[in-house]
Structure formats: C-alpha cells, structure tokens
Amino acid sequence: MLHEHANDASTCTCLTTNTMEHTLHITEMQRADIDRACALQPADRWLRGRMYWHLITPYALLVQAELNGAYVGHGCATVFHDSGSVNEVHVQPLRDAATIGSALLKDVLARMEAEGATRQLTLAAPRDQPLFASFGFVPEGDVFEYGYGKFLQATRDEVVNLEPEHILGVLHLDRQATGEDREQLIREHLYLGSVYQEGSCIRGISLPLLGHGLIVADSPEVGLELQRWLFPIQPVVHMPECQFAGPAHLVKQGYSADYPCMRMVRGPRPAYRPTMIFAYP
C-alpha cells in the first residue's frame, strides 16, 4: 500500500507491508551520498563516475531513494529543452524493489517535466521494459551491441580531427539523426572527435567519448569508415536494429551481436532516423 507526500525537493512514500510501515524518501543526491551507493554496488566500477557526472552537469539530475534512512536505489536523467533521457533507474534487490522502482521513475519523470521535457526517452534493458511500459513508454526499436571482432584499418583521408569550424555541421547532423536539440551534450563531448569532410560538407561525425561512442553519417560508406576510427578507442559499438549496413559488415569481421536494450519513448515521438546512426552511445 502506498501513500505519497511531495514538495519541491523530495517525495515521501509510505510503504505498508503486512503490519509494518516503512518510509521511502526520494531526494536529490548529494556528493556525500555517493560513497554509500557505490559501496553497495562494488561490481559496477563506472558507477561513481556516472553519478559524479550527473551531479555536476547543469542539464542532468540525480536522485536517490532511502527506505527508513538507508540507500535503496537511484535514478538519473538528462534534459535538453523539450526532450530528455532517463539514463538509469537502479534499485537494490529487495522485496519491495518493484514499488521502489516505480516511485523512483515517477519522481524522475516529474522532475524532467518540470524542466520542460515533454518527451522522455530511454534505452531499457529487458528486465526494465515492463516498468517503463507501465508509465506509457512505447518501443521504438531494439539496439544491439557488437563487440570483440577484428576491425579493418581506417584508410580515408576525408576523416579529420574535429575543429571549431566543424561544430555547426556536427550539431546539424545530430539533429537530423535524433530529432533532438542536444547541443549541450554534444559540445561537452567534442574532445577526440572526428568528422568525415568532403570539401565544405560534413558528411559524418564521431564522438568516441560520448557513452560508448556516437557516430552519425549520411551514408553507409561514411559510417563504416568512422567505425574504423572508433574501435581502437571503444571495444564495442551499439547500433539500432534497422541499421543494416553496419551490422552486416561487423558480423562479417567476426563481431558477435548481443541484445542489450530497447529504445523506448514517452510523449511525442522525435523525427528519429536510425539508419544514420552507426554508433549509439
């Protein structure tokens, strides 16, 4: 049984199980809270970095769930104008995990909407898809992971280091592929980036430090060449299911495919063009 009370900074939920009542608080996570969260998840060696990034990034949010004062989970997201991404909803393995997960996601979505994000997206693992579906998220295609094959050496002179004069072209291609204005996120991850340039035209971009790497290209020829520049930095690449040219090439090179997640959307669907995406971060 649930009873909720909320204010601007936190949500309080009373969980009643049998004859016992427990108090679930969802609040913004502080720097001092990160140590205890990481101590409970020692196998996730990247958790601390992800939490710190969401904590200090102006367009990101990070919340935690406490049950009777003890950390039991967290959620994080990013917001870009009218669109946003739910990046993580994690709950410790408890009897009330499903209820806690629902309360966390509800809180994260409310905070995103308060920031203006009328559309929310996520990449949901199979175990999390029912939770997101219960909040109105609908599937928009699977995203597969390819890794640990034998990549071909990059050969094209058209691939050059990303310079300030390329930024407008980079932002334009990202908007074409995703249907979102993610300028803040893109500008923050330009380091070590590359572009495929023909004359004055930017035909493809690679941002290897954005998640597992972002590659957007206007053709398979350009996208596959940029993948060859990505693999020395990233051992795996994620691609949408309807991106046919990239997976076919990777399987031929001995890469194995795994099914990590499904792209899901809540609210108005963006003008998403997955055939332009050769690496999904």
pLDDT digits (tens, 9 = 90+) for 135-164: 999 999 999 988 777 766 777 889 999 999
Tokens of 207: 């941002």
Q: Which of 165, 6, 175 is nearest to 81 (CA)?
A: 175
CA separation for the pair 80, 60 (Å, rounded): 9
What confidence tier does 176 reach under pLDDT thresholds 50, 70, 90?
very high
What pTM did the predictor assign? 0.87
pLDDT digits (tens, 9 = 90+) for 249-277: 777 777 778 877 999 999 999 999 999 99
Neighbours of 24 (CB within 10 A): 22
Half-sphere exposure of residue 106, counting CA atoms within 13 Å on the CB side? 17
Cβ atoms of 229 and 154 within 8 Å: the answer is yes
Q: Which of 141, 164, 74, 155 is nearest to 111 (CA)?
A: 74
> What is the set of domains in the chain, with CATH numbers?
2-117 (3.40.630.30), 145-279 (3.40.630.90)
| 179 φψ region: left (φ > 0), alpha (ψ -120 to 50), beta (else) | left
- Classify strands 138-147 and 119-124 as parallel, antiparallel or unpaired: unpaired
